[in-house]
Structure 1
Amino acid sequence: MTDTGPVTRDVLQTFEDVRSRLFARVEGLTDAEYLWEPVPDCMTLRADGDGVFRADPRSDPEPVPAPVTTIGWRIWHIGADCLRGYGRFFTGEAPTDVHIWPGAAKEGIEKLAEDWALFIAQVESLGDERLLQPMGELGGPFGHESYLLLALHALDEVAHHGAEIGVLRDLYLHGYVSEG
């Protein structure tokens, strides 16, 4: 086992603080909340002809202002797009179809927990020495950046989008439900 060291421990503790806050906020989340569209034309999770749910892809370039997204889309973004997607910097392999995601709240939260645990294990496995070094070839165009910077970027993503999930949930729970 890798001796994590103080930097890795602090990063992991901060991730745990953010994780516990986010998972407390989605406790009891209903399917209606998960896919609630507070404004028209939200980015969300949609079932295809085979009943498989997929996250709406982002536009390139992204429109201004950026589209509003559902709680389900944000949970997907944190889990698959960010945490699982960043796994390529540890393994060199891009995940397969990251747009596939559960269309129900309970399963979406469970999938987020799996992606979270995998990312944390990948960061923890580095230890301080490797965490502070450049990613190298696995990092592609970001190879000159450290794994610490990758972890901090992921932390920024999950904290930022986790807070947005909290706001969307508050709006829903306080009765701001649009008529469509």
Structure 2
Amino acid sequence: MADLTEHSPATRDILATFERARTRLFGRLEGLTDAEYHWEPVSGCISIRPGDDGVYRVADLFPQSGPDEPDPVTTIAWRIWHIGSLCLRGYVIHLFDDAPEFPDRHEWPGTAKEGIQALADDWEQFISRVAAMDDERLLAPIGRGPGGWAEETYLKLALHALVEVSHHGGEIGLLRDLYLREDA
């Protein structure tokens, strides 16, 4: 982990918390197989799947259920895509001035190894932008972005990203635990 003493207090604390979340999430992803990555524990799972052209794409951006139905089950591949592409990469694209060119956000690697690397790359893109801020900028309105984000702070964005990482990361861990015990 980089030396955080050069950062102002709020930025330092957010970066330290992200590092703890990264360590836990990527620790749970160690040894992930392609079979686990694509495992569908129930019928009707939402995942990433190859199209006719062989390119893997997310099947459903925002799976919705009816008012009396449980949320759909998603695969580890979908959750890794959700954290990396939809959240972290999406935040960089829409909420930072210096966003690089990214591939189509609906496309995602079809193997566990490549999916984890894509998540790591998206993580680094997001964290490097947060790390470049001082507390004054972190606490000021973003000033751009869809859905009311222009009036929110980068601190709120970072906290929202942590919620997404903890929510989906915990479910990734549970899916791995269930997969390993499927035939037990």
For the criterion TM > 0.5, the same-fold answer is yes
Q: Give the SS at the match of 1:130.
A: helix
Output the amino acid matched with 2:65.
P
Q: Give the SS at the match of 1:133.
A: coil
CA offsets 1:70-106 (integer angstroms, 9 cap, x no match): 0000000000000000012012769552110001000
Residue of structure 2 in register with 1:89 after alignment: 95
**Structure showing greater relative contact order (alpha-carbon pairs closer than 8 Å, 6 or more residues apart):** 1
Q: 1:38 aligns with which of 26, 41, 65?
A: 41
- CA-atom RMSD in angstroms: 1.9
Residue of structure 2 in register with 1:69 after alignment: 74
Q: Identity rate of aligned residues, in percent?
A: 56
**Unmatched tracts of structure 2, length 5 or more:** 1-5
Please identify, of 128-137 and 51-60, the stretch whose mean Cα deviation from structure 2 is larger: 51-60
- Does 2:134 match 1:134? no
- Alpha-carbon separation, structure 1, partners of 2:147 and 2:169: 28
**Unmatched tracts of structure 1, length 5 or more:** none
* TM-score, normalization by structure 1: 0.90
- Give, in angstroms, the shift of residue 140 of structure 1: 5.8
Residue of structure 2 in register with 1:18 after alignment: 21
Output the amino acid matched with 1:144.
E
Aligned length: 174
- Alpha-carbon separation, structure 1, partners of 2:147 and 2:37: 34
Residue of structure 2 in register with 1:53 after alignment: 56
Report 1:103-142 matches (<5 A): 103-138=110-145, 141-142=148-149
Output the amino acid matched with 1:67.
P
Q: 2:169 aligns with which of 159, 162, 171?
A: 162
* TM-score, normalization by structure 2: 0.88
